[in-house]
Amino acid sequence: MGVSGKYEILKVDPHSNARRGMLTTNHGVVETPVFMPVGTQAAVKALSPEELTGLGANIILSNIYHLNVRPGIDVIEKCGGLHQFMGWHRPILTDSGGYQVFSLAKLRKVKDNGVEFNSHFDGKRIFLGPVEAMDIQYRIGTDIAMVFDECVPYPCDRDYTCQSVEKTILWAALCAEQPRKEGQLLFGIVQGSDYADLRERCVRELTAIGFDGYAIGGVSVGEPEDVLLRGIERSTGFMPDDKPRYLMGVGRMDQILDAVSLGVDMFDCVMPTRLARNGTAFTKYGKYAVKAGEYRYDVRPIEEGCECYACRNFSRAYVRHLLNVNEILGVRLLTVHNVFKYMRFMDEIRTALDDGSFNDLKKEYTIRWHESEIKMTAEGDR
- Read off the pLDDT of residues 131-184 as tens digits, 9 standing for 90 and up: 999 999 999 999 999 999 999 999 999 999 999 999 999 999 999 999 999 999
For residue 189, give the nearest of 133, 246, 273 by alpha carbon: 246
Positive or negative: CA dihedral 46, 26, 96, 123: positive
The DSSP line for 87-132 is T--S-EEEE-SHHHHHHTGGGEEEETTEEEEE-TTT--EEEE-HHH
Q: Name the fold adopted by 7-269.
A: TIM Barrel (3.20.20)
Q: What are phi and psi of 9, to 5 degrees?
A: -85, 120
For residue range 341-371, what is the model confidence (pLDDT) as tens digits? 999 999 999 999 999 999 999 999 988 888 8
When the pLDDT of each residue in the chain is averaged and rounded to a whole number, the result is: 96
- Check residue 382 and give its pLDDT: 54
Annotated catalytic residues are 95, 268
- Check residue 3 and give its pLDDT: 86
Q: Are strands 286-289 and 28-32 parallel, antiparallel or unpaired?
A: unpaired
CB neighbour list of residue 45: distance below 8 Å, 6 or more residues apart: 39, 273, 274, 277, 335
Residues in the chain: 382
Q: What are phi and psi of 292, to 5 degrees?
A: -60, 145
User: pTM to 2 decimals?
Assistant: 0.97
- Check residue 117 and give its pLDDT: 93
- Decide if pLDDT at 290 tops 60: yes
CB neighbour list of residue 196: distance below 8 Å, 6 or more residues apart: 230, 234
Domain boundaries, the chain: 7-269, 276-380
Positive or negative: CA dihedral 311, 312, 314, 315: positive
For residue range 51-82, what is the model confidence (pLDDT) as tens digits? 999 999 999 999 999 999 999 999 999 999 99
